Amino acid sequence: MAQRLLNYINGTWQTSGATDVLKVLNPASAVELAEVPLTPVPEVDQAVQAALRTFPDWRRTPAGKRIQPLFKLKALLEQNLDLLARAITDECGKTIAEAQGEMQRAIENVEVACGIPVLMQGRNNEDIAPGIDEHLIRQPLGVVAAITPFNFPGMIPFWFLPYAVATGNCFILKPSERVPMTSGKVFELIESAGFPAGVVQLVHGGRDTVNTLLDHPGIRAISFVGSTATARYVYSRASAAGKRAQCQGGAKNPVVIMPDADMEMTPRILADSAFGCAGQRCLAASVAILVGDARRSFIDPMVAMARHRKVGYGLDAGVEMGPVISSESKSRIETLIGKGIREGATVLADGRGSSVPGYENGFFVFPTILDGVPPRGDIARTEIFGPVLSLMRAATLDEAITLVNERSYGNMACIFTRDGAHARRFRYEVNAGNVGINVGVAAPMAHYPFSGWGDSFFGDLHAQAEHGVEFYTQTKIIVERWPSDWSRRF
């Protein structure tokens, strides 16, 4: 029988009494790896109560002391990077190199949060009025929770966890029920990093567990990453319950390719962006808008990149792209490719119906390129979240920018050009929170917020860096007067 994954509550590993469980599968082989409990309300409440009890002491712990477990965690993550990366590959499907890169990004967020004694400093003015001083200080919120998606099981929890605890909050993670094992391994390291019991907790589950967190009066803030439909729902339910919420949603990222782009570099970078992580990145290029005669030199090398990408099990040597997350995902993607063809697109590389020798049960979709996708059709607007690149045409940069700005999503937009004026105009005018110039995945490093716009984000303050610090703290203003002569009348 597959192992049942444990929750980590109040500093101990606990077997959930959940009667509902889900299977965790290796998407390359469909082999069952574990079963994940859908944690019921009383056990979620136990985690929240433990956090509430711990919070008063944790917030009083000096910031310089609160970051010591994070320094230790950074070292543990580095020492165990390969083990964690293998866990990611096994349950999520991406290649081992992609999984290692993901863990590196997680570690960078721990590094940034270790700067909290400086990052959460306030400010003040002496004599803001005669004899009166004014101060702004930042205080933690209390108990906060994060709900994360399947596609970056190692990295995304770290967009939140380090900032939340460093600023003095107690933190509960509800990872994706499709990839819960990486979090289990991370929490084994958290257990030895020296956090007091109740500061960081792990609760497995699905939508009911999420609802319990959203409604729980003990939780002050919710961080969420996932699809737009769920992000919108989580944002409204959490806000209605009076919580702060930051909810990152889905994407459909356009890339504009100008005729003067470097056509040796551009297809190579685009292939990594569109097909890396099997297209299951919220910053994957999914639409390439070819301006003028860019298509003449772009299409052949791009199609060659798609056809030659080595697809397989991410731990096998030389594999460049793994499976998608589930059989449902595979059939959804294949259905959408068919829909694109029915809408009038021509398929230049067709990844449907393919399998990998030795992994015939795996959920593989090979790289796919659709040409002549109608810009206002469904496929141009639907997030496919698989290794599918749609090509469109535009006569001018103006027209391309219009196409970019017609979308409801605003996670990322990129341009490939050698012309600085074109690049500057693009950067200035596009409605997207993350912009790439001759870059295929404009992922903000941990020192910057992850700035999705439009339907890609609900909230004000984003994940990472100073936005994370602001999100997890509330400002308090102190206006004070200390007369040297109390007998004076005011």
Interaction between residue 279 and ligand NAD (CB under 6 A): no
Looking at 28, 251, 302, 337, which residue binds ligand NAD (CB under 6 A)? 251
The pair phi, psi for residue 286, each rounded to 5°, is: -120, -15
- Residue 342: how many CB atoms within 10 A of its CB? 11
CA-closest candidate to residue 291, choices 261, 326, 325, 322: 261
Query: Should residue 210 be labelled a site residue for ligand NAD when binding is judged by CB under 6 A?
Result: yes
Of the pair 55, 159, the CB lying nearest ligand NAD is at 159
Which of 26, 95, 167, 176 is in the footprint of ligand NAD by CB under 6 A?
Answer: 176
Residues 336-355 that bind ligand NAD (CB under 6 A): none
Q: Which of 80, 227, 331, 382 binds ligand NAD (CB under 6 A)?
A: 227
Tokens standing for 143? 């108990």
Contact indicator for 54, 170 with CB cutoff of 8 Å: yes
Specify the residue, 152 or 313, whose C-beta has the smaller distance to ligand NAD.
152
Q: Calculate the CA 392 to chain-centre distance.
A: 27
How far does CA 1 lie from the centroid of its chain? 32
In the complex, the smallest distance separating the C-beta of residue 126 from ligand NAD, rounded to whole angstroms, is: 42
- Pull the structure tokens for residue 145: 């929770």
> What tokens appear for 259 in the block?
């005729």
Site mask for ligand NAD (CB under 6 A), range 280-299, x = bound: --x-----------------
Q: Which of 92, 170, 282, 414 is catalytic?
A: 282
Q: Which two tokens stand for residue 384?
A: 């496919």
Size of the residue set binding ligand NAD (CB under 6 A): 28
E-only strand ranges, 341-387: 346-349, 368-371
Candidates 30-38, 61-69, 146-154, 257-265 — which segment interacts with ligand NAD by CB under 6 A? Answer: 146-154
> In which residue are the tokens 């005011």 written?
490
Question: Would residue 282 show up in a list of annotated catalytic residues for this protein?
Answer: yes
How many other C-beta atoms are found inside a 10 Å radius of the C-beta of residue 272? 19
To ligand NAD, the closest distance from the beta carbon of 302 in angstroms equals 23
CB of 185 to ligand NAD, least distance (A): 17
Q: How many helices (H) and strands (E) does the chain have?
A: 17, 22
Residue span 365-384 as binding mask against ligand NAD, x where in contact by CB under 6 A, dash where not: ------------------x-
Query: Binding ligand NAD by CB under 6 A: which of 103, 110, 147, 255?
Result: 147
Chain-centre distance for alpha carbon 388: 20
Using the rule CB under 6 A, is 452 a contact of ligand NAD? yes
Torsional sign, CA 428, 430, 431, 432: negative
Closest CA to 283 of 259, 311, 255, 314: 255
Compare residues 70 and 463 and give the one whose CB is closer to ligand NAD. 463
The number of beta carbons lying within 10 Å of the beta carbon of residue 43 is 20
DSSP 21-51: EEEEE-TTT--EEEEEE---HHHHHHHHHHH
456 binds ligand NAD (CB under 6 A): yes
Q: Is 225 in the site for ligand NAD (CB under 6 A)?
A: yes
List the x/- string, 394-413, binding to ligand NAD by CB under 6 A.
-----------------x--
Give CA–CA dist 199/56, Å, rounded. 11
DSSP annotation of 386: S
Selected binder of ligand NAD within 230, 368, 417, 464 (CB under 6 A)? 230
Closest approach of ligand NAD to the CB of residue 41, in Å: 14
Selected binder of ligand NAD within 140, 226, 314, 340 (CB under 6 A): 226
Q: Which of 23, 207, 424, 447 binds ligand NAD (CB under 6 A)?
A: 207
Alpha-carbon dihedral sign for residues 300, 305, 306, 310: positive
Binder of ligand NAD out of 8, 55, 58, 150 (CB under 6 A): 150
Min. distance of Cβ 18 from ligand NAD in angstroms?
14
How far apart (Å, rounded) are the C-alpha atoms in residues 194 and 180? 22
- CA nearest to 93, candidates 161, 14, 184, 27: 27
Q: Which stretch binds ligand NAD (CB under 6 A): 36-44, 69-77, 249-257, 265-273?
A: 249-257
Task: Considering the complex, state which of residue 207 and residue 296 has its C-beta at the smaller distance from ligand NAD.
Answer: 207
Residue from 249, 267, 279, 340 touching ligand NAD (CB under 6 A): that is: 249
Secondary structure (DSSP) of 440-489: S--PPPTTS-B--EETTEESSS-BSHHHHHHHTEEEEEEEEE--S-TTS-
| Residue (298 or 385) nearer to ligand NAD, CB | 385
- Determine, following the binding rule CB under 6 A, whether residue 177 of this chain makes contact with ligand NAD: yes
**Residue closer to ligand NAD, measured from CB, 147 or 166:** 147
Does residue 100 bind ligand NAD (CB under 6 A)? no
Catalytic residue numbers, as ranges = 282
Residues binding ligand NAD (CB under 6 A): 147-152, 174, 176-177, 206-207, 210, 225-227, 230, 233, 248-251, 282, 383, 385, 411, 450, 452, 456
